[in-house]
Structure 1
């Protein structure tokens, strides 16, 4: 009799505890006579306790003890408050970086908060507009002539496709122009690791060139939006050009740099025609994008024409760097034998 009462009490207490943790305990009812103390009949199989345990999903499991509640209302209320707090915190979170780490606060020279994540104030610079735009490397060797003719052949389909839409043309070509510096810097980086030697600053110079070309693209994205078929063209051209330039650089770095040098000469020509269309009114001289003002440290009130001029100066610098790199290889020296030219900043 006593053991039966103790058993029933124990089971009920255990049921409350397990229900609080998400487990369900079901027991069969005991005979009324046993509960009242009357009768000494032994429990039959129908009176045996049947336990049915249902385990909740592992999601939301915690090492903390849950509150001992019967219906779980207290726990549901706490969960609801926690979810509401998380939603409120997420709404208040204004800026989230790529890796979900809050970025450090950066200010410009005036003390106001910096608004660009793609570059920092110390990476901004003033372009050298006095650079010689008409400099041309006359092809003399077989590789020079081959590189020159390759670039001239690539210009023909580009002129047909873009016509005189120079804003869109510049934006699309910048997606390809940023590839050579990245490929060259990557391969020189791997060579430096294999040979346990320095690169003479050429790795940084080439990667800086790639980043500068990418900023040209970010700027023109504010001026012209590509159509869907132009975006598809970028995927095709970039995929082909990356692999072709990668193999070309492995076979002959001097040829690869000469190709880029001639590509930059064509870029100077394209931006010169761009400026002509702006001057004659064929292209509207809109205000310069905000990102251009900060990246090239342009004065307030600058226009698209000012942006094209600083970008053309950048392309002239790329031209000289790559022709210089090719000349070093022609002389039988590694790039590390001569220090890299000064960067853009």
Structure 2
């Protein structure tokens, strides 16, 4: 099954690369429109399971919603750069997204692990796409200002949702620079890496019992630290 998934993703990547060529912003717009869709599928199925009393995973819902919020802001950034300028690009992206939603829903219901593996491959491709773009256009991007929507998301707005996509933070959440367009694409690339790590974690057999959102992890750590002095006093 994983071989088939890899083949499908490789074919999709080939088609996109051929169709869009050097039209980078239009390609990014397409990718970000589609990238949100599996998280919608995950949320739909999780809400269904909760409604029928199958199982409830608040942290899974929270993280997947944060991931849709993250991808939404990637999409808004690409729109601010003109990636959705042409009707044809919007038509293709939106219709592929609708079809993709109904492909992912049954896969997720039958096997969450395979659905997460599919998304891991997609997000990994996105990471390398942005990484290559940064290496090729570094000077050009550094000379351009950061879009306001990106500044609001990464620095000046409510950062809770941004923090929720930062997998297992080691004490502090990421606070990236937003000084120019290069910084923004660097942040988007790093976001994709966080998505990959989350998808990898959710494929583990023990994920249903152990997976926690970044804020839940920090809250647990803080609670444990708060208990230590009390325990020491009790020992004395």
Q: Same fold (TM over 0.5)?
A: yes
Per the alignment, do residues 300 and 193 of structure 1 end up closer, same or farther by CA in structure 2, a change over 3 Å counting?
A: closer
Question: Is the 1:201–1:336 Cα contact (8 Å) retained in structure 2?
Answer: no
1:339 aligns with 2:197: no
1:261 aligns with 2:133: no
Per the alignment, do residues 289 and 280 of structure 1 end up closer, same or farther by CA in structure 2, a change over 3 Å counting?
A: closer
SS in structure 1 of the partner of residue 52 of structure 2: helix
Give the equivalent residue in structure 1 for 2:103.
Answer: 244
Which protein shows a greater Rg? 1
Matches within 5 A, 1:146-185: 146-185=4-43
- CA apart distance, 1:225: 4.0
Per the alignment, do residues 251 and 286 of structure 1 end up closer, same or farther by CA in structure 2, a change over 3 Å counting?
A: same
* Equivalent pairs, count: 195
User: Greater share of helix residues, 1 or 2?
Assistant: 2
Matches within 5 A, 1:191-210: 191-195=49-53, 197-199=55-57, 201-210=59-68
- CA apart distance, 1:251: 2.0
Give the equivalent residue in structure 1 for 2:233.
Answer: none
- CA apart distance, 1:336: 3.4
Per the alignment, do residues 322 and 270 of structure 1 end up closer, same or farther by CA in structure 2, a change over 3 Å counting?
A: same
Q: Distance in 1 between matches of 2:44 and 2:76?
A: 22
Give the equivalent residue in structure 1 for 2:188.
Answer: 311
Q: Distance in 2 between matches of 1:339 and 1:235?
A: 32
Tell me the TM-score normalised to structure 2 length: 0.75
Aligned counterpart for 2:131 among listed residues 250, 264, 272? 272
Gaps of at least 5 residues in structure 1 are: 1-142
Question: Is the 1:200–1:339 Cα contact (8 Å) retained in structure 2?
Answer: no
Per the alignment, do residues 194 and 166 of structure 1 end up closer, same or farther by CA in structure 2, a change over 3 Å counting?
A: same
Q: What is the root-mean-square deviation in Å for CA atoms of aligned residues?
A: 2.2
- CA apart distance, 1:147: 2.2
Stretches of 4+ aligned residues off by more than 4 angstroms = 298-301
Matches within 5 A, 1:1-345: 143-195=1-53, 197-199=55-57, 201-226=59-84, 227-279=86-138, 281=140, 285-297=143-155, 302-327=179-204, 331=205, 335-342=207-214
Q: Distance in 2 between matches of 1:285 and 1:234?
A: 29
- CA apart distance, 1:236: 2.1
SS in structure 2 of the partner of residue 206 of structure 1: helix
Per the alignment, do residues 284 and 313 of structure 1 end up closer, same or farther by CA in structure 2, a change over 3 Å counting?
A: closer
Q: Distance in 1 between matches of 2:10 and 2:123?
A: 12
Per the alignment, do residues 280 and 293 of structure 1 end up closer, same or farther by CA in structure 2, a change over 3 Å counting?
A: closer
Question: Is the 2:146–2:180 Cα contact (8 Å) retained in structure 1?
Answer: yes
Question: Is the 1:186–1:203 Cα contact (8 Å) retained in structure 2?
Answer: no
